[in-house]
Structure 1
Amino acid sequence: MIHTPDSVHHSYSWSDETGAGAGKRSKMFHSTPTASTTTNSLSTWDIDGGLAADFDGSLSGLGTELGTASYNMSEALLALPVFKQENLENGFQYILGAATSPAVKLNEETLTYLNQGSQSYEIKLKKLGDLSELQGKYLRSIVKVLFHDRRLQFMEKEQIDSWKQMRPGERILDIDIPLSYGLVNVNLDAVRLNQLEFIWDPTKETGLYVRVHCISTEFTAKKHGGEKGVPFRIQVETYTNTDEAKLLHAASCQIKVFKPKGADRKHKTDREKMEKRSDVEKEKYQPSYECTVLTEVPKDQILQANSGYSKTQSLTSSFAELNRGLQTITHVPASICPTHIIPGCTASPNPSLSPPQSSSSHTPLPFSHNQTHEPVDVLSGPLSSDAQATDVAQWLHYHRFSNYVRVFQNFSGADLLRLSRDDLIQICGLADGIRLDNALQARNIRPRLTVYICQEPESIYHALYMDSLVLEEFKVKLSTLFGIQTQQIGDIYMQGPSQIHILLTDEVIQNIQDQTRFVVEGMKDESGDKYRILLKTVGDR
């Protein structure tokens, strides 16, 4: 069970439930505190007349079934003052899948600890309110890692340039493509290393997994060990997906980034400190929540920051300005959602079949008519021997070898391809060395089932390699082999003991012995539109 706070001492909780045939999923519930708790909490607040006037009216929308202590997510949000009906059209919610610190006072902003580099953190995006007008439309969002301190904000460009010189070929903010879902056209800016951009469908489940590669102590003035690291901010900005991008919403949260496992140790230290405090002192501090709700940032503040940036006169012009450094990844695969964080997300029983379905329903939208993007297959395919050092760095990032970008920072594609399997294991370790060698050699995934097909009266066999062991896949491969449409294949039978005909199903395919040989006989059915196919094992001829 996960609890998260909001500004009026309501709480949200995530609980796992099992849907019929849909696997495990998480659902968010809204819990209302008791009347006495609410009264005590509100007595310490300074609420102006305008808010106080409509506060009672806002609470009335929470419903009358207070005894149940849980509500549907959307119903609860509708009742809160921050999501009144007039604000729903621009309502958004972003949730970071990382725990907040328990050592933060009640009147202070939450602080979230992250581990550097290899650990990915989910940011769940949700458009609230009526989605009917957004059917078939897309939104564009930008995720940034910024400095929390005002002094460092004015020195952002210089600080990032200094970090880039110390760690060439690396990014401050990166995205874990295989884990992310519901995204279209992810753009990694080669100049602005601290941000990424993507297009998403607000009517569908959307979440991206990000990695932060810089740590908070890298930007302290003196580095003698034991310094207190500077805080960062993760900020999400959402715009319309039009030529003249309009800012719809922005939100952010405060974070600190530690070396691997450092965030876990810091949480443990904070918990131990809080346990030593008295009950009276503990009441002055916020409890730790297992996920972080990003708080809204005024749009004027975002627009002012964007217009004041030395290289950014407008969002549209900045996109065209940075074409040469823009890398595009089209159609992020729909992967299985982690159900311990995401509400209402059902795991796909067969993720290998998801990309074809999503590609038909999502059309990649270009960012600008004047932009030229690097094709996706340059990164997703095998590494070219002509690749430059910068191309190698991008290829390593895309294939989840970010930890070794620094090691291979001066390697061209030819240099990397000259390394043997043993060389890579020695450099990267056993597991990553084997994985990198497989990626460089572009080795195919080992099939789960291989069958050999021959059509009478020929004596030449053709191999069918199956990955998902389902009837539909078998039909697709047969239709490709014989040059017919998949729809033209009707029932498929396999000859069994005593010459009986067994209807081919998913379960039958899953029990076929590997490397079985079949002779295929085809005949048209009564309608003449489809073929019935009989698979005879070689021993039965």
Structure 2
Amino acid sequence: MLFWHSQPENYHQHSTSSYLREALAPFFKHEDAQPSNENSTKMPPFQYVLCAATSPAVKTHEETLTYLNQGQSYEIRMLNRKLVEYTDISSKCVKSIVRVVFHDRRLQYTEHQQLEGWRWSRPGDRILDIDIPLSVGILEPRAHPLQLNTIEFLWDPVKNASVFIQVHCISTEFTPRKHGGEKGVPFRIQIDTFGQNENGEYLEHIHSSSCQVKVFKPKGADRKLKTDREKIEKRSVQDREKYQPSYETTMLTECSPWPDTPTVNSTSSTPSPVYHSSPSSYSITDGNCSPNQQGELFLPSCSDHLLPTSNPQDTQQWLHRHRFSPFCRLFSSFSGADLLKMSKEDFIQICGPADGIRLFNAIKGRCIQPRLTVYVSQQQTRNEQQIKPSNGEVYHALYLEELTIMELTEKIANLFRIPPQQVSRVYRQGPTGIHVLVSDEMVRNFPEETSFIISSLKDENSDGYNIVLK
């Protein structure tokens, strides 16, 4: 549990003018470099200063980049510009929410999944923490156990306030192949500040700002900063002018507020990922497959739309029915409303061009016609033929899009609820009863709405079965 500790007297005796002058020194450097007409524009009410040096290897027109060491305490000085300008200010406290989020847009869409995966791999750890003993002027610090990347606290803008934060994750923990060094993903440290409304609730947004950071293992940020400086020093004078100078502190720049900003002491909790590990039962008997024993396979239709009221569990089932199983884990925490809000470009960025467009069309209710439809039915045993008439076979539709033998094998295996690896080969019965091995070319030349009777034969060379299309 977090507690607020009062600071020593000698700290509070530190003069306000010298404190502000020291904290705003890099900010004044930035302002001096700007034209006077920009200074006359409206400035943000607050200024946040992260006490960590910016990288010199950033080009002039790009956003600054700051390197941090994992677990090290970094100070964020919270300054009220109105105090600097000697204007009146309300003495009420404000609430600031600090969070570590992803800089890349693609990772932002999968943030919940990424953070939940980190939580499962690092049980008991937090992504963002407050170093309470070092922090000054903050009240009621909170860190909800389920929101690992968020902290919040109150502070009085009239007084000096400074919060020390610790980031415990490193950038390479969220890269696809766990590359080391510079291949780590960038994060954003964002601060959203809120004032009280007439009911005393901190819901009125006042200001938001953020900066881009990368987090390295302990002392890795110092080595990386040193390497960047050495590279820039080796460049010519003309090349150096293309890069920003390195400042000892980082100024957080104004940005849009974080969407649907929650409070970390909210009673609502983020659902944990659920992994279903119940085994699938299946069986194949010589010369006969029986889908009726396993239940009827549900095939999606154009009327099976995703609804805004669908919860994450319903959404997962919808993705399975529409053949988007590879992306179920990616969208494990998404409701129907979440997916319906996403654009085609969002799906393309997350799933790739082909699957992204297909998923977008399916969600928007656009019916996609399959390239080939075939009908299959199981071969009846003698006992079944005595019960059912010869013309009473039950057929199932298989919708093919890729027109490959692999796709046909998977469709047949899914239909009869068996693992695809249990199917060794697929044959088509030819003239005089010969078995012709089915290839991709043969599948592409199947006539539309061809019907087959399926039987199975035990493979003598393995534990699998050969499927025969008659």
TM-score when normalising by structure 1: 0.43
TM-score when normalising by structure 2: 0.49
Larger radius of gyration: 2
